[in-house]
Amino acid sequence: MARSHILLPALAPALVVLFASPAWGQGDEVPHGRGFGARLLQALIDGIQFGVIIAITAVGLSLVFGTVHLINFAHGEFVTIGATFAFFLNASPAGPGWHLVPAAIAAVLFGALLGGAVDRVIWRPLHARGTGLINLFIVTIGLSLLLRHIVLVLYGTRPASFVQYDIQEAIDLGPVGITPRDLTVTLLSVLVLFGVAALLQRTRIGTAVRAVSVNRDLAEASGIDVQRVVLFVWMFGGALAALGGIFFGLEEIITWDMGFKLLLLMFAGIILGGLGSAYGAMVGSLVIGIVAQVSSLWFPVDLQYAWALLVLIVVLLVRPQGILGRPERVG
């Protein structure tokens, strides 16, 4: 039995949340052309744009699972906190009114500190006491609820948006259109993903992360400071989640539960790509984003996430370990 099948029952209750989510990109007036080919190309562009944002948020979640084998349900709240903290610095009447760029940088740093604090204050002491994985899983759900309602109290229920780059006209690129904001976010997301890949492959800390993911005990016996690597992964994952939340807030709106709505798609991308594989999370998230957008050409947009999850089920029936995952037996 593959590890991928373990997560599916736990994720099922969250399905209903996504069906009420607004369609991706509804706020932008982007020309879709008259022919089917033009509409298909536009859907592919929108899907890539959506997929790379899912990938940024999912990579950190995948790295945490790969290094400590913990399913962190609070990761969605890291996404929300990144977006709402940037909003406070940028657009809140009580905030300093910073431009979005420095506000985003500060929010990413805050996300990294939040991830590090969660590791040092909660997970490391619990792991030192020998707490089981099931108990830790329940703790992540409790932490998720706590953080989500703290955001609700501080931020409120009213959706909002950043001050800069809110409403833009699309640039007509032949049969497709894209706003300068969307193009910038997509290019930055791709650059970030390439940067993550380069860090994992070409740096000492990246090599250490991959070693701990493959065999924690062997990595520790080889002289790798596993605790330091785990702390780095939590901070790195928190920073990526915050950045993904800012990009997601730019594309849609900022709400107190936006990260929770995105969480199931993160899990879907991770499982589809292969549990514990950062590259698998990137590929799987991209597939999820594209399928969700392309499906809207034939079916109602309210069902676009359902078709993406159907593709996940079909792929797992054929390849239970995911696209880039390794075959593994449990039990």
Check pLDDT > 90 for residue 193: yes
Q: Is residue 328 part of a domain?
A: no
Average confidence (pLDDT) over 275-292: 88
Residue 85: φ, ψ to 5°: -65, -40
The three-point CA angle 80-53-295 to 5° equals: 115
User: What are the beta bridge partners of residue 173?
Assistant: 176
Q: Is residue 324 part of a domain?
A: no
Q: Are 100 and 235 in contact (CB under 8 A)?
A: no
Q: What is the pLDDT of residue 2?
A: 44
Q: Is residue 65 part of a domain?
A: yes
Residue ranges making up the domain that contains 254: 4-25+50-318
Q: What is the pLDDT of residue 5?
A: 44
CA pair distance 147, 117, nearest whole angstrom: 13
Q: Is residue 56 part of a domain?
A: yes
Q: Is residue 325 part of a domain?
A: no
State the DSSP H helix or E strand holding residue 177, giving kind and residue range, or none if neither. strand 176-178
CA pair distance 122, 322, nearest whole angstrom: 30
Check pLDDT > 60 for residue 186: yes
Number of structural domains (the chain) is 1
Q: What is the pLDDT of residue 201?
A: 92
CA pair distance 107, 250, nearest whole angstrom: 14
* Burial class (CB within 10 angstroms; exposed 0-12, middle 13-18, buried 19+) of 215: exposed
- Computed over every residue of the chain, the mean pLDDT equals 84
Task: Give me the amino acid identity at 172.
Answer: D
pTM: 0.84
**Helical ranges in the chain per DSSP H:** 4-11, 15-19, 36-68, 75-90, 100-118, 124-128, 133-155, 180-202, 204-214, 216-221, 226-251, 258-273, 278-294, 304-318
Q: How far is CA 9 from the centre of its chain?
A: 20
Q: Is residue 40 part of a domain?
A: no
**CA separation (Å) from 6 to 1, 252, 267, 281?**
9, 32, 12, 17
Check pLDDT > 70 for residue 72: yes
Q: Is residue 248 part of a domain?
A: yes
Which distant-in-sequence residues (6+ apart) come within 8 Å of 286 by Cβ? 48, 51, 52, 54, 55, 269
CA pair distance 148, 236, nearest whole angstrom: 21
Report pLDDT digits (tens) over 128-175.
888 888 898 899 999 999 999 999 999 988 898 898 777 777 777 777
Average confidence (pLDDT) over 312-331: 72
Residue 106: both structure tokens together: 């500060």
Q: What is the pLDDT of residue 34?
A: 52
Q: Is residue 329 part of a domain?
A: no
Q: Which of 10-14, 23-27, 212-216, 298-302 has the highest mean pLDDT?
A: 212-216
